[in-house]
Amino acid sequence: MTSTAPSTLPAPDAVRTVACVGAGVIGGGWVAHFLARGYHVVAWDPAPDAEARLRELVAAAWPALTQLGLATGASVDNLQVAATLADAVSRADFVQESAPERLDVKVELLAEIDRAAPEHVVVGSSTSGYGMSEMQTGATLHPERLVVGHPFNPPYLVPLVEVVGGRASADWAVRWASEFYRAAGKSVITLDSELPGFIGNRIQEAAWREALHMVANKEATVAQIDQAMTDGPGLRWAFHGPCLTFHLAGGDGGMAHMLDHFGPALRYPWTRLTAPELTDELRQDMVEGTERVVNGRTTAELIAQRDRRMIAVMRALAEVDRQEVDESTPGR
Ligand SMILES: NC(=O)c1ccc[n+]([C@@H]2O[C@H](COP(=O)([O-])OP(=O)(O)OC[C@H]3O[C@@H](n4cnc5c(N)ncnc54)[C@H](O)[C@@H]3O)[C@@H](O)[C@H]2O)c1
């Protein structure tokens, strides 16, 4: 859809206040990210214990964010929790929606946000897979400013956001949201069309489907699957995606040799499996197997361990990048 951006639209890097609607795992993670980047945040969540949960989540994330480096003026004191949705979104320059992944909830909520937010306020939805075309159907005033801004958990550490509009979204809103997320420190992919599951989830879900099949068929335990990923392909995927990884697997012949050599043999694994049936037994095996891997650690302990490790990986990669730049600088 083409339409002209409203004259009151702020520059993407002039945003000062972000409204976060829905403050669970992802909404709370967004709150922590925006606070650390120096924004003022107004949160709204209908759950009675939402504010306490949110403040706990932000406090738990803050040490990791401090370690990474806070923006000038960044403070947890810049968080306000609004009493109503309208109050939250009417004060914001941008809205991030992170309500539960149910289409009816998203449709109704985005319609409500559309009624309450000024016309120039762009709204990004954290949805993991719904298309904006199906979610914006209830918005009658300005559906053109509704886009998907899909993050990865935790949004305060994982850089990627996938941005895509729906049939009624305007090109200017998709562009503006992409630039805003970049200004807010994210790595952005702007998709041209509504791809089910976007890109990151398509890849994650394929790995997840295989894991469930192996547990359902008693071929591997949860612990073996997790070890196979962290000590195997996962280690490479932090810096080379699956395509460059397989390019190197083809030796000097690269991707072309990889496909010619392994393609015929891969036809079977590529086509073997459909969605696993989520039986009670499979559910129980997954839950019990994961409990064994968790081995008594609390969720808060696991989150702190995850954050320390992610920062260690990001720092190590940044250091290698720095060394490579130094080595390639002439005159050294
Ligand atoms: N968990 C993930 O790894 C992940 C990753 C990327 C995207 N997402 C997406 O983020 C969104 C939120 O997922 P989550 O994992 O944070 O869920 P969650 O259950 O942790 O949080 C949802 C929050 O929304 C609140 N809520 C309930 N009804 C609401 C309403 N009508 N309006 C506003 N808030 C409402 C709940 O009180 C809760 O705090 C979903 O769209 C999900 O697909 C999740």
Superfamily of domain 200-296: N-(1-d-carboxylethyl)-l-norvaline Dehydrogenase; domain 2 (1.10.1040.10)
Q: Would you kindly state where each structural domain of the chain is located, as residue ranges? A: 12-190, 200-296
Residue ranges lining ligand 1, Cβ < 6 Å:
21-27, 45-47, 50, 98-101, 105, 109, 126-128, 150-153
Task: Specify the pTM.
Answer: 0.92
> Which DSSP helix (H) or strand (E) runs through 140?
none
pLDDT of residue 264: 85
DSSP 58-119: HHHHHHHHHHH-PPTT--GGGEEE-SSHHHHHHT-SEEEE---S-HHHHHHHHHHHHHHS-T
How remote is the CA of residue 98 from the centroid of ligand 1, in Å?
5
Superfamily of domain 12-190: NAD(P)-binding Rossmann-like Domain (3.40.50.720)
Quick one: which atom of ligand 1 is closest to the CA of 29?
16
Q: Same CATH fold, 200-296 and 12-190?
A: no
DSSP 136-203: GGG--S-GGGEEEEE--SSTTT--EEEEEE-TT--HHHHHHHHHHHHHTT-EEEE-SS--TTTTHHHH
pLDDT of residue 332: 61
How remote is the CA of residue 27 from the centroid of ligand 1, in Å?
7
Q: Which of 42, 45, 89, 299 maximizes ligand 1 atoms within 8 Å of its Cβ, making it the mutation to test the pocket?
A: 45
pLDDT of residue 1: 58
Instruction: Give, for all 332 residues of the chain, the pLDDT tens digit.
Output: 558 999 999 999 999 999 999 999 999 999 999 999 999 999 999 999 999 999 999 999 999 999 999 999 999 999 999 999 999 999 999 999 999 999 999 999 999 999 999 999 999 999 999 999 999 999 999 999 999 999 999 999 999 999 999 999 999 999 999 999 999 999 999 999 998 889 999 999 999 999 999 999 999 999 999 999 999 999 889 888 888 888 888 888 888 888 888 888 888 777 777 888 888 998 899 889 899 888 998 988 999 899 998 899 989 988 988 999 988 887 76
Mapping DSSP to helix (H, G, I), strand (E, B) and coil, where does residue 164 land? Answer: strand
